[in-house]
Each structure stands twice: as structure tokens, then as C-alpha cells.
Amino acid sequence: MNVGVRLASVRDRDEVLKIVERIEVAAQLVLAPRSSGWQYVEIGLRNCRHRLYVAEGQKTDAILGGGRLEPGGFSYFVHPEWWRQGLGLQIARQLLTICCHRLPGETIRLAIRRGNLSSIKIAEALGFRFSGSDALMPHALVFELEHFDLGPHPGGDCIERH
């Protein structure tokens, strides 16, 4: 299944919430302490520095995953029923392109919870390298990507729909 990423709108809120609550996204993602799935979505809809994206299958309008811009990087998630089918890598690759267009020339960082093997595989497949841990996030590993060959901006897919 191929997926395309677009900016989330308020109409996507309930569908995305169902997914992130099911994954317990706050436990999986490296977020601020006491941050919840609901906050992940709400902040992503309201704050352009944490802009929320959703990923839809090309043959269906259903939301299969998504992600969010984070300081200096991004995060991503996939509906559990679609895990291990390559969607995580597709979504992360598209978010990386978006992120690089927003932060041209800057090092992109991913904070990945220790033991999250699939996420580490995705980071490494995209060219990220382990750079250490962060004293403020002892449960996380930091991966960095310094140079990324920017493809075309996925503009049409990223038009905000409110």
C-alpha cells in the first residue's frame, strides 16, 4: 500500500485521536512528561511549529498514520493494524522531505525511545546516524541527519484543509 502525507485539519481530529490513543502514542513517542495522545493531536492542529500530518492510502480515504513536526525534527506513527507493511518508512520519508524544506541546511534530529527497534530501523534506512543520548530525555536515543538530498516539495499534498 502506498500512502501520501497531507496536513491534518480539524476534521481529521477524531480519526487521528482513535489511532494515537490505541497506540498509546504518548508512551511510544518521546514527548514531554505527562503529555497525552490528546495533547499530541491538539497541539499538532493548533501550533504550526508542531504541525500535524496525516497519511492516507492512495486507494482509500482512511487515515492509516501520520506524524508531527517537532523542534528540529519530526515524529511519526502508523495505525497498529498496518504495522510492518512499510508504511512507517514511507511516512517518515515524506515528513523528512517536508522538514528539510522548512529547515534547509539544518541537521534534522529524531528522538527515539530506547528499544523502539522499528523506529530505529526507519531512522537508519533514511540515513540518520545515532548521535548519543540527551540528558533531558534519558529514555531516548538521538539520531541525526546532516545532509539530505531534497526531492520536490510535496506541496499539493500539504495544503491545509480547515
Ligand X SMILES: CC(C)(COP(=O)(O)OP(=O)(O)OC[C@H]1O[C@@H](n2cnc3c(N)ncnc32)[C@H](O)[C@@H]1OP(=O)(O)O)[C@@H](O)C(=O)NCCC(=O)NCCS
Give residue number: closest CB to ligand X: 88
Find, among 61, 58, 86, the residue nearest to 11 by Cα: 61
84 lines the binding site for ligand X (CB under 6 A):
yes
96 lines the binding site for ligand X (CB under 6 A):
no
3 lines the binding site for ligand X (CB under 6 A):
no
C-alpha cell of residue 22: 490505541
Instruction: Mark residues 29-68: x for contact with ligand X by CB under 6 A, - for none.
Output: x---------------------------------------
Binding residue (CB under 6 A) for ligand X from 35, 38, 39, 89: 89
Q: Residue 15 or 156: which CB sits closer to ligand X?
A: 15
C-alpha cell of residue 93: 520519508
CA distances to 10, 44, 57, 74, 96 from 101, rounded to whole Å, are 24, 18, 23, 13, 9
Report d(CA 124, CA 129) in Å as an integer. 6
Q: Point out which residues pair with 140 in neighbouring strands.
A: 113
**Interaction site with ligand X (CB under 6 A):** 23, 25, 28-29, 75-78, 83-89, 112, 116-119, 121-122, 125
